[in-house]
Every structure is written in C-alpha cells, then in structure tokens.
C-alpha cells in the first residue's frame, strides 16, 4: 500500500455532504436528460477515499436497500468507519483499507462511485488509478461524482498553498503542528503587508478564513505533496478517455447557465452548444473555485418529458421550508433570480406540507391546462433556486402536537447523537424517507439527545449543565457570552426554537418518532 505523498500522520475531520447522495446524483442526471440507475430494488455504491466515512455511513443508514463500500488507505480512518458501521448496525456497509491501485479483484461493479476531496489532492499516478477504477468498476448507465479544486477560482490562492507547505516543511512536530505554525506565519506576512497580499486583497482576506479552520482540515487540504487545481476541460478530458461523459454538476443551479452567468455574458451560451466551451466560460464568469461534477458511462438518454415521467418518477418534490411566499428571490452568488406568477403559486400550494412525484404534480387539478414540459421546467428551476427540494420517498406528516416523549428510530442516528452532540461541529442524521442526511448544529444535537434520553422536564437546565461541563462557549453577535444568566436565557431560547421548528421537521423526515 502506498500513500504516494498523501499525509497519513494526522486523521481528517468527519463531514457529511448531501451532494454525495444517490438522490442528488440521480436528479442531476434526469435534469440533464439522462436515465439514472434505478434504486428501488437495490444498488451498489462505492466511495473512494471515504476518510472518516460520515458520507458512507449516513447514506448507508438512509438507504437500507443499497450496498455501500468505502475505501481509504489510512487505517485510522477505516478503523473509525468500521466502529461507526458496527455502532449503527449497518449490515449494508463495509470499509476496505487499501490504496486505489490495490482494490480487491472481486469488488464487482457499482451503480454509483463517489469521491469527494480526493482528486485534486493526490499524485498523478493515483489519479490514474482513480480513472482506471472508474473505467473498470462503474456499471453501464452508472453515475460517478468527483469534486475538485477548480480554476480560475484558485488562481490567486494557489501561492498561499505553496508558501504554507514550504514554511511547514521548515517546522517540527506532526503535520497539524506544522500547519498551525505556517498559518501563523501567513498572518504575520499579511499583517506586515507582504507585496503578494497587497496586490491580491482577496488572498489577504482568505488568511482570516484559514485561521478559523480546524488544523486537521488544513493538513488534508494543503499539506499533500501533489495538491493541484483543474480546469473543467482537463477533468472532462481525463474521464472522457475512460469512456465516461459529463452529465452535469452540483449544486443544482450550476446546470442552468442563466443562473450562473450575468445577462450581459449570456450571448455565447445561446449560440454555443459545446459543453467544454460553455463550462469554461461559466467558470470564468463565476470565478469557480470548486466543482462537483457527475459523469456517466454509456448513458441512456431520455427522449422527452414523458419519458422522464415514466423512467424517473420515484423522486419526490416538496417546498424546502414553511412560510415561503412569492415573489421568491434566490441569491446564487453571481446572479440573483426571482420566481413569481400563477404557475409557481400553484406549485407552492401543492408542495407545501407534502411531497409529490413529478407525475402527481403534472396531474394536479390546479395545474390543469399547463403543458407538462412547462410544469417540469418550473419544478426544476424551483429546485435550482432552493424553493423545492428532492427526496427519495414520500415525507411523513408534520405532527399536530408534540407533547408525547420522542425517540430516535435508527441505531445509526442514536449512535451519532450519543457520540457527537456538543462535539463542536455539526453532525448529520440519516433519513430513510429523504434518502440523505440532515445536518444539525452541535447545540441542537445536544438538545435532541437530552430530549430523547430524559424528556422535556428541565430540558434547558440539563443542556446548560452539559454546555458548562463541555467548556463550549456560546456566542451572540459573534461575541462569546460569559454572563451566566444571559447564557441560561440563550439556552432556553435555543431549546424552544428547536422544539418549534427543527423537531417537527425531524419527525416528518422519520428521524424522530413522536
């Protein structure tokens, strides 16, 4: 087994990324006219470089019919994943300690392959192994998700990585200590007006973001020998050589060029169909620094909207949160877009408080007379703008009252809550109804844990006691709160707000049973 320049002395940080969900990948395929793998009767999912495995295990808990395999070369990572698999009673997940060049021969093929935070961070020879794995292990019609640091967004930040790594090499200690020293040195150079920072004010501001980061994240982001960033065309070319074609990308709005590019730059997109050209221009107009791209092997195309209604009708759609009214405005970074009008009003009413399949939406009485293609386009644009979201199955009802004791359904969610609440970072709980994970801040997670373990009486004082014991600070307006009575009041408010807003949603997702 070889790490090929990848750091192994410091373990990474856990994280859940909803982009990795088969639901998100399948939706992007359908949106771009491609038939995604069917999942109702089971599917196989491979994660390359699974790290601490929170994507793998959360998705395995959310998809009991899927079979999930994670691969990572770092035995500390895979041991942690194996512990989570056991604690979460995930009979449908396993993890393999191996480098990508030495995967077991009998691994088989997969409907989904995903790699996040890997492709830009490994040696060229390892990227070749990833590409060979994609060719050999992705089933025909399967989908592959790859994320990477992108150009041109990284252009002015690349020198920061260079100087961080060079300074860290002069220091002693493990990679975490050396990266801490290197960040301190960058702050010094920025504060003393090193010319690079004077000429690149965004890079100077970026130093403040580095200071806030967990050193374990910084180690894995910056300390690898072969870190690099790519233009879209380079990655599309490499996967193209292996017989994989570009499908689309995440977040969903990036599939709509008019939501990524300001109107004055849109002429080129109206007249050019070459995706290599349009994606390059899009990345330039948006100064893209990170991409989540989806590829397919031997994709089968959807002929028209009726084909989509037949072939991909198991996904459900719902309004993302209660209380949305029209006109609805979405700020998508470069473009701000507004939706309004009778079609969206009807969709909003139809998809509030419940989730429906596309065929059910199209057949709705309130949309009678509107062509299905217009309805589907409006749903997709609504998803892109964050008005609607997609779920694997039908959501439960919002509970009328929540006076009874609450419990957690899945052993995986119980184990995550018991281990990680008040751990200083958000955690994700799995929903078999949505087919993905749902993030909770660590304070909300502690409130839920207390609620489940010991009920509602004295909830706020128990959470406050746990906060005291953990040493975690509470913040208000970006400032730590030291006054005891103010802290108690903030905890009371957090408990009430959790019970009023987050808890009903967790019940609808089937994560909490009330």
Ligand X SMILES: C[S@@+](CC[C@H](N)C(=O)[O-])C[C@H]1O[C@@H](n2cnc3c(N)ncnc32)[C@H](O)[C@@H]1O
Minimum CB–partner distance for residue 23 and ligand X (Å): 18
Residue nearest to ligand X (CB): 51
Applying CB under 6 A, the span of 111-119, 379-387, 437-445, 493-501 interacting with ligand X comes to: 111-119
Give the one residue of 22, 37, 88, 117 binding ligand X; rule: CB under 6 A. 117
1 vs 170, beta carbon nearer ligand X: 1
> Strands (DSSP E) along 303-352, which ranges?
316-319, 328-331, 336-339
Burial 260-275 (b: 16+ CB within 10 A, else e): bbeeebeeebeeeeee
Q: Interface with ligand X includes 119 (CB under 6 A)?
A: no
- Collapse the DSSP code of 417 into the 3-class scheme (helix H, G, I; strand E, B; otherwise coil) and give the result: helix
Q: Interface with ligand X includes 74 (CB under 6 A)?
A: yes
71 vs 247, beta carbon nearer ligand X: 71
Q: Interface with ligand X includes 161 (CB under 6 A)?
A: no
Distance in angstroms (rounded) separating the CA atoms of residues 404 and 500: 14
47 vs 279, beta carbon nearer ligand X: 47
Distance in angstroms (rounded) separating the CA atoms of residues 303 and 311: 10
Q: Interface with ligand X includes 126 (CB under 6 A)?
A: yes
Three state DSSP letters for 174-242: CHHHHHHHHHHHHHHHHHCCCHHHHHCHHHHHHHHHHHHCCHHHHHHHHCCCCCCCECHHHHHHHHHHC
Applying CB under 6 A, the span of 70-78, 170-178, 303-311, 499-507 interacting with ligand X comes to: 70-78
Distance in angstroms (rounded) separating the CA atoms of residues 453 and 421: 13
- Chain centre to alpha carbon of residue 329: 23
Minimum CB–partner distance for residue 64 and ligand X (Å): 22
Give the one residue of 137, 220, 308, 449 binding ligand X; rule: CB under 6 A. 220
Binding mask 355-394 for ligand X (x = CB under 6 A): ----------------------------------------
Distance in angstroms (rounded) separating the CA atoms of residues 109 and 94: 15
Distance in angstroms (rounded) separating the CA atoms of residues 486 and 491: 9
In this structure, the strands spanning 290-297 and 244-250 are: antiparallel
Give the one residue of 118, 381, 384, 467 binding ligand X; rule: CB under 6 A. 118
Q: Interface with ligand X includes 5 (CB under 6 A)?
A: no
216 vs 489, beta carbon nearer ligand X: 216
Binding residues for ligand X, rule: CB under 6 A, are 4, 6, 12, 15, 49-51, 71-74, 77, 99-100, 116-118, 121-122, 126, 220
């Amino acid at each position: 087994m070889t790490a090929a320049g990848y750091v192994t002395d410091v373990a990474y940080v856990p994280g859940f990324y909803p982009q990795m969900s088969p639901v998100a990948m399948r939706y992007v395929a359908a949106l771009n006219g491609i038939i995604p793998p069917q999942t109702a009767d089971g599917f196989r999912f491979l994660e390359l470089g699974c790290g601490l495995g929170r994507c793998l295990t959360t998705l395995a808990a959310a998809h009991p019919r899927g079979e999930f395999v994670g691969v990572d070369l770092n035995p500390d990572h895979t041991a942690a994943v194996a512990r989570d698999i056991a604690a979460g009673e995930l009979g449908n997940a396993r993890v393999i300690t191996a480098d990508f060049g030495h995967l077991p021969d009998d691994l088989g093929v997969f409907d989904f392959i995903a790699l996040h935070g890997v492709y830009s961070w490994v040696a060229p020879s390892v990227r070749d192994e990833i590409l060979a794995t994609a060719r050999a292990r992705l089933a025909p019609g399967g989908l592959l998700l790859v994320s990477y640091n992108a150009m041109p967004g990284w252009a002015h930040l690349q020198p920061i990585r260079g100087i961080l790594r060079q300074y860290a090499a002069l220091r002693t200690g493990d990679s975490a200590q050396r990266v801490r020293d290197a960040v301190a040195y960058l702050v010094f150079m920025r504060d003393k007006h090193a010319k690079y920072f004077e000429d690149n004010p965004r890079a100077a501001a970026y130093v403040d973001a580095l200071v806030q980061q967990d050193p374990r994240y910084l180690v894995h982001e910056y300390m690898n020998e072969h870190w690099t960033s790519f233009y879209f065309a380079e990655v599309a070319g490499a996967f193209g050589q292996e017989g994989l074609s570009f499908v689309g990308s995440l977040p969903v709005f990036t599939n709509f060029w008019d939501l990524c590019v300001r109107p004055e730059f849109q002429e080129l997109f109206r007249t050019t169909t070459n995706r290599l050209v349009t994606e390059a221009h899009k990345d330039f107009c948006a100064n893209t620094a990170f991409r989540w791209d989806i590829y397919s092997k031997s994709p089968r195309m959807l002929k028209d909207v009726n084909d989509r209604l037949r072939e991909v009708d198991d996904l459900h759609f719902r309004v993302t949160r209660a209380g949305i009214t029209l006109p609805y405005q979405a700020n998508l970074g470069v473009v701000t877009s507004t939706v309004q009008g009778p079609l969206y009003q009807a969709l909003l009413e139809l998809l509030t408080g419940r989730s429906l399949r596309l065929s059910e939406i199209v057949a709705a009485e309130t949309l009678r007379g509107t062509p299905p293609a217009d309805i589907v386009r409006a749903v997709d644009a609504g998803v892109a703008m964050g008005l609607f979201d997609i779920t694997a199955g039908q959501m439960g009802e919002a509970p009328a009252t929540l006076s009874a004791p609450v419990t957690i359904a899945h052993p995986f969610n119980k184990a995550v809550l018991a281990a990680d609440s008040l751990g200083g970072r958000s955690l994700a709980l799995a929903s078999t109804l949505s087919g993905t994970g749902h993030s909770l801040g660590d304070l909300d997670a502690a409130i839920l844990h207390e609620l489940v373990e010991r009920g509602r009486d004295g909830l706020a004082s128990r959470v406050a006691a746990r906060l005291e014991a953990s040493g975690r600070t509470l913040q208000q307006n970006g400032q730590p709160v030291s006054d005891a009575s103010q802290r108690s009041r903030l905890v009371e408010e957090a408990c009430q707000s959790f019970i009023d807003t987050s808890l009903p949603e967790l019940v609808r997702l089937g994560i909490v049973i009330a």
